[in-house]
Amino acid sequence: MSKALIQTVTDQFPDAVIASHAYRGDQTVVLQRDGLVDVASYLKQQPDLQMNLLVDVTAVDYSVFGKQPATAFFASSGVQVRPTSGIPDGDPWPGPPAEARFAVVYHFYSTVHKHRLRLVIPIEESDTELDSLTPLWSAADWLEREVWDMYGIRFRGHPNLKRILMYEEFKGHPLRKDYPVNKRQPLIGPIN
């Protein structure tokens, strides 16, 4: 598996990179929060990288990850889900990037060089704020609003950081693992 992009980023920003791995051809770099904008603009502007497409921005809440057994989703049909550790792989997934509760994940693609890179930024629960990439990729605008809406992670310098999917009156952030599954916040009440 090629690790050329990981190598380039690690050589250029040795202080910002926390870890890296290539899992089945997908190259991932785990970054310090403060290094995000520098690395991202480097990825966009360097002629041999030219990550001109921001494919996705999302987040992960690791607060219950691995702390409770996965529910047997296919128990009714008796289908066993093989753990990924059982699949032979020379470079297995290393698990959550850090002890931090959240991780914000960026997926970049270069339509010129046809290569991809994933950046993962661990975010502590006590300070859920990081720099916006909207000035670099306008695609980040709505994606960062979605991350704010669903996970409550703020983006510094975002031009219009408000909810995008849920309504303004909604309290909380529904994709956080501590949001109760059955909690409803109806805008208009039931008639019966």
Partner 1 sequence: MQSNPSFLTTRLDKAIGWAQKYSIFQYPFVTACCGMEYMATACSHYDVDRFGAGLPRFSPRQADVLFVVGTISHKMAPVLTRIHDQMADPKWVVAFGVCTCTGGFYDNYATVMGIDTLLPVDVYIPGCPPRPEMVLDGLMKLQDKIQDHRANGRRAEPEARPEVFEV
Binding-site ranges for partner 1 (CB under 8 A): 165-167, 174, 179, 181-188, 190-192
Minimum distance between the CB of residue 174 and partner 1, rounded to whole angstroms? 4
Minimum distance between the CB of residue 148 and partner 1, rounded to whole angstroms? 16
CA neighbours within 13 Å on the CB side: how many for 138?
0
Minimum distance between the CB of residue 142 and partner 1, rounded to whole angstroms? 16
| Helix residue spans in the chain (DSSP H) | 4-12, 36-45, 140-151
Minimum distance between the CB of residue 147 and partner 1, rounded to whole angstroms? 16
The nearer residue to partner 1, 88 or 186, going by C-beta atoms, is: 186
Under 8 Å between Cβ of 20 and 10: yes
Whose structure tokens read 């890296």?
A: 20
The nearer residue to partner 1, 86 or 186, going by C-beta atoms, is: 186
The nearer residue to partner 1, 139 or 166, going by C-beta atoms, is: 166
The nearer residue to partner 1, 162 or 183, going by C-beta atoms, is: 183
The nearer residue to partner 1, 33 or 163, going by C-beta atoms, is: 163
Minimum distance between the CB of residue 96 and partner 1, rounded to whole angstroms? 24
The nearer residue to partner 1, 55 or 166, going by C-beta atoms, is: 166
| Dist CA 69 CA 102 (whole Å) | 20
Under 8 Å between Cβ of 71 and 29: no
Task: Determine phi and psi for 15, rounding to 5 degrees.
Answer: -80, -30
Under 8 Å between Cβ of 20 and 29: yes
Q: What value, to the nearest 5°, has the Cα angle with vertex 106 and ends 101 and 107?
A: 140
Q: Nearest-CA neighbor of 62 among 90, 115, 101, 105?
A: 101
Minimum distance between the CB of residue 182 and partner 1, rounded to whole angstroms? 7
